[in-house]
Amino acid sequence: DSGVTQTPKHLITATGQRVTLRCSPRSGDLSVYWYQQSLDQGLQFLIQYYNGEERAKGNILERFSAQQFPDLHSELNLSSLELGDSALYFCASSVGAAGDETQYFGPGTRLLVL
């Protein structure tokens, strides 16, 4: 158990819908990262927040957005869902934002878009 929690574990929804994935980092960690893992793409970095501010951005679609709240939990919002958005979404956290920062991953949310 990494100490990173994610909810929900599983999510089934229809195309065109919107969902919110939630992540709570390890106690004391200020950085949160979101990754998408699909069968054909591997783990892809989406976005990083540090202490409430966006720190780095990957190939995150415009239909996706994220934020980190004052209590440091983070939410990833996925809208206008398409079949291709079906994937495992992982959240990770680290103490700071750079340097020797090991990222610890949560258990993931499995999203299925039908």
Alpha carbon distance, N-terminus to C-terminus of the chain: 31
Q: Does the protein bind another protein through residue 26 (CB under 8 A)?
A: no
Q: Which stretch binds another protein (CB under 8 A): 16-24, 39-47, 60-68, 73-81?
A: 39-47
- Cα dist. 105→5, 13, 68, 114 in Å? 9, 24, 16, 27
- Cα dist. 45→16, 28, 41, 73, 75 in Å? 23, 22, 11, 18, 15
Q: Which stretch binds another protein (CB under 8 A): 21-29, 66-74, 76-84, 89-97?
A: 89-97
Q: Does the protein bind another protein through residue 61 (CB under 8 A)?
A: no
Pairing of strands 64-68, 31-38: unpaired
CB of 16 vs another protein, minimal distance in Å: 27
Query: Which residues contribute to the site for another protein (CB under 8 A)?
Result: 2, 4, 31, 33, 42-45, 48, 50, 55-56, 58, 88, 90, 94, 96-108, 110
